[in-house]
Amino acid sequence: MLKRFIPDMYQESIFTINYKKLKKKGIKCLLFDLDNTISPAREVVLCEKTKKLFDKLKKDFKVILFSNNFPRRVGKFGSYYDVDIACISLKPFSYKYRYILRKYNLKKNEVASIGDQLLTDIQGGNKMGITTILVNPISDIDERETWLNRQIEKKIFKTFKEKDILIKGRYYD
């Protein structure tokens, strides 16, 4: 049962991911979660470092902000970073993932999902059979709706630690 929460990779942040390895693996599209993956939740922090990363990544990948948040919020980031957006994604449900695959004519093995939550980003990507990458949240402040997920996530991380499966701070790719 817990297998659905195990990411293929675990890194400190979006800046420590081995994107060359992803490209070599055949990944063509990167789905980035927004809140607490590239910007603190409830804030609009447009980061020049992230813009430079995305500009570099766009040479090799289709970069998409893939968020459960609403268009008004996600659109600001999409415009600034000059990337496509997929809003109200309803992760971990698979509808929006399938939509992205169809829209961009992608296969499951060509897509990676990057996010900070086991219950939404990782579980959703794993259900779809795409590469999943967990990163640490960049802030301790979450959207109100995320609080319950974080409580469940704490229990999952505790179980993972007991079984030596996934331990916070022990990164792998």
Is residue 169 in a domain? no
Average pLDDT over residues 149-167: 93
What was the pLDDT predicted at 101?
Answer: 98
Q: How far apart are the first and last CA of the chain?
A: 22
Q: Which of the pair, 172 or 142, is modelled with greater confidence?
A: 172
Neighbours of 9 (CB within 10 A): 18
CATH of the domain at 66: 3.40.50.1000
Is residue 112 in a domain? yes
SS3 78: helix
Is residue 171 in a domain? no
* DSSP element (H, E) containing 30: strand 29-32
Is residue 89 in a domain? yes
Average pLDDT over residues 26-48: 93
**What pTM was computed for the model?**
0.95
**Structural domain count of the chain:** 1
Mean pLDDT, the chain, as a whole number? Answer: 95
Is residue 173 in a domain? no
What was the pLDDT predicted at 1?
Answer: 72
Host domain of residue 128: 2-162
Is residue 167 in a domain? no
Is residue 73 in a domain? yes
pLDDT digit string, tens, across residues 135-149: 999 988 877 778 889
Is residue 149 in a domain? yes
- Cα separation, 115 vs 79, whole angstroms: 20
What was the pLDDT predicted at 13?
Answer: 98
pLDDT digit string, tens, across residues 77-115: 999 999 999 999 999 999 999 999 999 999 999 999 999
Neighbours of 153 (CB within 10 A): 19
